Structure 1
Amino acid sequence: MTENLLSSLGLDRPESGDDAVVPFTLDKLDTRGRVVRLGEALDTILSRHDYPLPVARLLGEAVVLSALIGSSLKFEGRFILQTQTDGPVNLIVVDFDAPDGMRGYARYDHDALLKASEEGRTSPAELLGKGHLAMTIDQGSHTERYQGIVALEGNSLEQVAHTYFMQSEQIPTLVRLAVAQMTTKGDHRPRWRAGGMLIQHLPANGISVMADLPGDGNYDNPETADPDFVEADGWSESKALLGTVADLELADPDLSPERLLFRLFHETGVRVFPPQALEERCTCSAERIEDMLATSFTNEDREEMAVDGEIEVVCEFCSTAYRFNPHQFEAKN
């Protein structure tokens, strides 16, 4: 049966597993997409800080969304997703270091989170509150950064992603995100897993199916859109099919991305491309921090930072502690 499935998908390789992104196209529906499946990489990011469950799930969704978008970069650089809000989880930062590195961090107000949990207000939208989400593409020091900013006003990260693509690129886009803890046989510690899928409509004739200006229409609710808005049949079918996928299917360790795609789109046909491996990888280093301390602070500043004659800097992403003697910088100044 596995051989028949692989033949149906046109695969000449084994099915992919965890920590990978799998691109695909639905040629008959003028749709392209990507599936992300995260296992050990996400568990490392979330378990390292021992986040409360609601915070871990929200950061997990942000990591999946960043992987879906960042993995599309065709150059070496960084995709940075950052939220700044007034909710219990007031800051999220996820770096996707193209082509395959991920790291993430969340900051939260313990008392506000406790109150929200007691009141049952732990949905992503309620944890984020109001503020904004910024998505930044950084190609290095010799190029200008590109940044898109979307308001966060009680919306989930899925909804915000739809708004971002509608306003910044005017490409009809639908995103699904799922994060869960699962226990496997022989392993008593629940481990974090996640999955996500992104589809985009790219009509072959180049005619946009979006409203002319950002905000003029809502492609998820055509009845409230601009009167001239027309949604292509292929895109309607793509959205309807993705809408049938369950959260468990997105994160299921026993359901490969290829099998999931076949399950969803076998009637219309799906073309699957080779997977791209992903890994948890922090970009911090002793050299970078030493250079920052040397160039951004005075001798007096460094003396004030020192505790028991030592400066300690802890990376917020990976929790690695770096220690320096404040006097080692004096000769460099």
Structure 2
Amino acid sequence: MTDDFMKAVGLDRAESLTDSVVPFAVENLDVRGRSVKLDEALNTILTRHDYPTPVARLLGEAIVLSALVGSSLKFEGRFILQTQTDGPVNMIVVDLQTPNGLRGYARFDEVALNEAAEKGELSPEQLLGKGILAMTIDQGEMTERYQGIVQLDGVSLEEVAHRYFMQSEQIPTIVRLAVAQFSEKGKAQDQWRAGGILLQHLPEHGGRTMADLPGDGDFNNPDTADNEFEPENNWVEASALLQTVDDHELVDPEISSERLLFRLYHETGVRVFEPMDLEEKCGCNADKIEAMLEQFSNDDIDAMVVDGDIEVVCEFCSTAYHFNPHQFRK
């Protein structure tokens, strides 16, 4: 790392590694954002279920988007991204448990996926189809959830994110996402890697963000959506520079977030802040599942019994839990 590079990005530490989020600001252009690089955490999630490649890539994009958005939370809680659509991939759920635990799951229709493959219709927007995308902030039992919903109508997750932020925060936002597989020496299977950048125009007079909005919210009210934003010169320049990023730059494990941001904004100056590590972490455990099973009636419990025992498999991490049905009968 050169002295010029360290000075330009304000680094007094080593460059961040993968599986991390790096917040940044380009103050001369009135923008802020976050950059994500995912490596082992993503690969663990995607390979655990042996998804078909197009499904894995789409879930990977959703995980990157969740990391970019959820990492902005300034309190303990969960950020949940969920899609429900009529496409071959009819449901995606990604859960970020603050401060750094990621998990994700995709449900798909194998027959519809094969038909889409025969037609060559495997782009993320074609796999999603039409439906909704919901982003939820959950601060725990004593608070109300804050949820925003945006329509999915045949566009990419990047474009949906742009619409979502204009509706929710009324802040112009651009998101770039990329997911790819890399061959690595000594490993039999290709490894999944991903990266993304979220860039936002700084409000002139402060403004609100998702992390500042506890309680219920309605992002679909046209009266609260700022659709009359007139792009300023600084925003035009900052967003145009971001659009020059190639996918391979976002996913390359040899290009740190700091180095990529320096490539983009070295002429105007970019400040990067302390990175936040990310890891694959599932929140399931036997106690939670027991508490859930205790809510069922005796008939429901009997219907769950196979060979004298109840098996519950976590959809996220595939861990199988086994229980004696007698402990739940009332």
**Shorter-chain TM-score category?**
over 0.9
Mapping 1:267-282, distance limit 5 Å: 267-282=267-282
Question: In the aligned structure 2, how far is the partner of 1:17 from the partner of 1:34?
Answer: 14
Shift in Å, 1:250: 0.5
* Residue equivalent to 1:168: 168
| Aligned-partner SS, 1:165 | helix
Give structure 1 stretches of 5+ with no counterpart.
218-225
* Residue equivalent to 1:261: 261
Question: In the aligned structure 2, how far is the partner of 1:156 from the partner of 1:108?
Answer: 17
**Number of equivalenced pairs:** 317
Amino acid aligned to 1:187: K
Question: In the aligned structure 2, how far is the partner of 1:145 from the partner of 1:158?
Answer: 24
Amino acid aligned to 1:231: P
1:290 aligns with 2:311: no
Shift in Å, 1:206: 5.2
Query: Judging changes above 3 Å, is the alpha-carbon distance between structure 1 residues 205 and 145 closer, same or farther for their aligned structure 2 residues?
Result: closer
| Aligned-partner SS, 2:267 | coil
Contact 2:8 2:271 in 1 (8 A): no
Amino acid aligned to 1:171: I
* Residue equivalent to 2:217: none
Question: In the aligned structure 1, how far is the partner of 2:207 from the partner of 2:232?
Answer: 10
Amino acid aligned to 2:327: Q
Question: In the aligned structure 2, how far is the partner of 1:205 from the partner of 1:305?
Answer: 56
Query: Judging changes above 3 Å, is the alpha-carbon distance between structure 1 residues 206 and 324 closer, same or farther for their aligned structure 2 residues?
Result: closer
Question: After TM superposition, what 4+ stretches of structure 1 lie above 6 angstroms from structure 2?
Answer: none
Question: In the aligned structure 2, how far is the partner of 1:32 from the partner of 1:118?
Answer: 42
Amino acid aligned to 1:161: A
Shift in Å, 1:215: 6.4
* Residue equivalent to 2:305: 306
Question: In the aligned structure 2, how far is the partner of 1:130 from the partner of 1:8?
Answer: 44
Question: In the aligned structure 2, how far is the partner of 1:77 from the partner of 1:205?
Answer: 28
Question: In the aligned structure 1, how far is the partner of 2:112 from the partner of 2:231?
Answer: 42
* Residue equivalent to 2:150: 150
Shift in Å, 1:205: 4.6
* C-alpha distance after superposition, 1:233-267 (max 9, x if no partner): 11111101101100000010110110001011000
Shift in Å, 1:19: 0.4
Shift in Å, 1:299: 1.8
* Residue equivalent to 1:75: 75
Mapping 1:82-101, distance limit 5 Å: 82-101=82-101
* C-alpha distance after superposition, 1:117-159 (max 9, x if no partner): 1110001110000100011100111111111000000011000
Amino acid aligned to 2:299: E
Question: In the aligned structure 1, how far is the partner of 2:230 from the partner of 2:207?
Answer: 11
Question: In the aligned structure 2, how far is the partner of 1:325 from the partner of 1:186?
Answer: 43
1:315 aligns with 2:319: no
| Aligned-partner SS, 2:55 | helix
Shift in Å, 1:6: 1.8
Contact 2:8 2:269 in 1 (8 A): no
Question: In the aligned structure 2, how far is the partner of 1:39 from the partner of 1:207?
Answer: 33
Question: In the aligned structure 1, how far is the partner of 2:56 from the partner of 2:230?
Answer: 39
Question: In the aligned structure 2, how far is the partner of 1:44 from the partner of 1:25?
Answer: 31
* Residue equivalent to 2:108: 108
| Aligned-partner SS, 1:244 | coil
| Aligned-partner SS, 1:61 | helix
Question: In the aligned structure 1, how far is the partner of 2:161 from the partner of 2:223?
Answer: 17
Q: State, as a whole percentage, how many aligned pairs show the same letter.
A: 66
Mapping 1:17-166, distance limit 5 Å: 17-166=17-166
Shift in Å, 1:204: 4.0
When normalised by structure 2's length, the TM-score is: 0.93
* C-alpha distance after superposition, 1:165-222 (max 9, x if no partner): 01111110000000000012232310000000000001445599xxx956674xxxxx
Query: Judging changes above 3 Å, is the alpha-carbon distance between structure 1 residues 146 and 215 closer, same or farther for their aligned structure 2 residues?
Result: closer
Contact 1:166 1:214 in 2 (8 A): no
Shift in Å, 1:230: 2.3
Contact 2:85 2:130 in 1 (8 A): yes
| Aligned-partner SS, 2:321 | strand
* Residue equivalent to 1:325: 324
* C-alpha distance after superposition, 1:25-45 (max 9, x if no partner): 000111000000000000000
* Residue equivalent to 2:239: 239
Shift in Å, 1:3: 3.7
Shift in Å, 1:304: 1.6
Amino acid aligned to 1:293: L
